[in-house]
Structure 1
């Protein structure tokens, strides 16, 4: 293992080479940003499965999540988004870059990092750059800095001499089973009216779709693609969750007064009803790119017992009769 100070690469020896196994391929690597997070992690996993060499920027190479990447033969580079010299070095000889930014950034920091990463990709002669934006991006500014950051980055990318693909994922399926939405109390409160629908995607499917895009640059260069795995109404959410829980789960939309008091929620609710989040995704194309694409029901069916128990606030002993 070759380590170094903060101004240089940190290369980890390949676990496969240590064990005498052959490398999966000899292609130039793809640099994955955010590989220790959900979206970047799913992309790294899918690229490895597709036979790509993967390089990841990580703050702490010995953190358990980073160590797990190393065990999968991911080349680790120690650094942060502020380390432009390290980022540029990480892009050296890379075939592609997958750029996804942390969700806790301020709007101005998001724009600063997003545009800088794309500029570095140009300077590094990256063959294919994929930026993960958001399905709430529309043609008009919203006036909400958090939602207007991504279209500003998209617009900058389109001005560059860069072969790029922009993906716009919708709400993650995983977000619907987080604590605080009422599942443990027999209800789900969300953003659509019961008879309206919204598009969802499992995080793992983002990675599989992105891997397919990297494998077909000529087809998807210069395109912006809304991606999703399913389109489902509030009533259908209620039915699927009731079956998974083994007890009634009632669905309701956030009350108008709650939406009125929260600018972000109000914008998303409006966008789901008649804005960018309501624009249909070509699910046939999604299945072409990812034959393993998950519907919400199939995603729920794939959750293990522990995850289901945590989602529905049960102790693991009750509700054993339910499985999709």
Structure 2
């Protein structure tokens, strides 16, 4: 840990990834600053109460972003999923450019595990690789992380858990890497603590690796009732381009690439397995998806 006590600027701090990073950085002793849309909102007030300095503005407010980066040591950049591909690239590039202009010591961009080195030609899939390419050519110490599929995606209502099924993208005998969002914050804190080690690195990060069959077993054990695993039917994938793209990527694309979990654990010794996440911080969402919230 550095003795430098300049603040860290965190984007998306009212959301899952940014919120995880803000919490982990505070725990590690960093002052944290966050760009928020509404400084009076409930999520923003929770950040303020935790000790985060708030800067109100939007991604369009370049002067506010520049002011938020003044005297900051590092920047964690993540963009919301509701942007168009054009908006995502424009804002992602601008944030990185301002970081370079203002002399940020360490820039950390959270991309996506489906990002590969070869563009697909589909704008929404190519936005993050385009931002990555721009970051790499800037005169700045930078690290790019590509979190694998979030564990949180498995416990959203509407995926069959309330009917005793877990429906997802891999074939039952195939494996999927999963990331607990709270682990992302711990990875980020570790990256910022070792600037030289992680300078110029692009790395996929994950918390666990399980097969479809193992998903069913883990959910059954934690839920206390039988949960069977199923893959989305081919006819569903045929009419949903995003799901089909992810399913193919899990078979022979970027999402199928193995992550060295021992190396992950060396960076983040508190790495969460799927079972530990389901039994811990993910349990409330699991109960809701099961339809058991409020039951005795």
Specify the TM-score bucket, using the shorter chain as the normaliser.
over 0.9
Q: Secondary structure, in 3 states, of the residue corresponding to 1:102?
A: coil
Match of 1:97, SS? Answer: strand
Give 3-state SS (helix, strand or coil) of 1:300's partner. helix
TM-score (norm 1): 0.88
Equivalent residue, structure 2, for 1:237:
215
Matched residues in 1 for 2:135 and 2:187: separation?
20
Given that 2:8 and 2:30 are in contact with CA atoms closer than 8 Å, whether structure 1 keeps it comes out as yes
Distance change >3 Å, CA 304–CA 274, structure 1 → 2:
closer
Give, in angstroms, the shift of residue 144 of structure 1: 2.3
Inter-partner Cα distance in structure 2 for 1:282 and 1:315 = 36
Q: How far off its partner does 1:105 sit?
A: 0.3
Q: Hey, what does 2:230 align to over in structure 1?
A: 252
The CA distance in 1 between the partners of 2:282 and 2:193, in whole Å, is 31
Q: TM-score, normalised by structure 2?
A: 0.97
Map residues 298-317 of structure 1 onto 2, 5 A cutoff: 298-303=276-281, 306-317=284-295
Q: What is the Cα deviation at residue 315 of structure 1?
A: 4.7
Give the Cα–Cα distance (whole angstroms) in 2 for the partners of residues 143 and 223 of structure 1: 25
The structure 1 residue matched to 2:59, chosen from 68, 81, 86, is: 81
Change (3 A) 1:70 1:263: same
SS of the residue 2:44 aligns to: helix
Deviation at 1:273, TM superposition (A): 0.6
Contact 1:197–1:231, Cα closer than 8 Å, also in 2: yes
Distance 1:305 1:257, change over 3 A: closer
2:235 partner SS: helix
Q: Does 1:63 align with 2:41?
A: yes
Paired residue secondary structure (1:219): helix
Assess if the C-alpha contact under 8 Å between 1:26 and 1:53 holds in 2.
no
1: distance between equivalents of 2:244 and 2:117? Answer: 18
Which one of 32, 47, 56 corresponds to residue 54 of structure 1? Answer: 32
Q: Which residue of 2 aligns with 1:22?
A: none
Match for residue 225 of structure 1? 203
**2:171 matched residue in structure 1:** 193
Is the contact made by 2:277 and 2:283 (CA closer than 8 Å) also made in structure 1?
A: no
Distance 1:189 1:307 in 2: 16
- 2:132 maps to 154
- Which runs of structure 2 are paired with 1:1-324 in the superposition (5 Å)? 27-303=5-281, 306-317=284-295
Q: Which runs of no fewer than 5 residues in structure 1 stay unpaired?
A: 1-24, 319-324
Q: What are the superposed Cα offsets for residues 14-34 of structure 1, whole Å, 9 maximum, x if unpaired?
A: xxxxxxxxxxx8700010000
The alpha carbon displacement at 1:245 in A equals 1.7
Alignment RMSD (CA, Å): 1.3
Instruction: Work out the number of aligned pairs and report it.
Output: 294
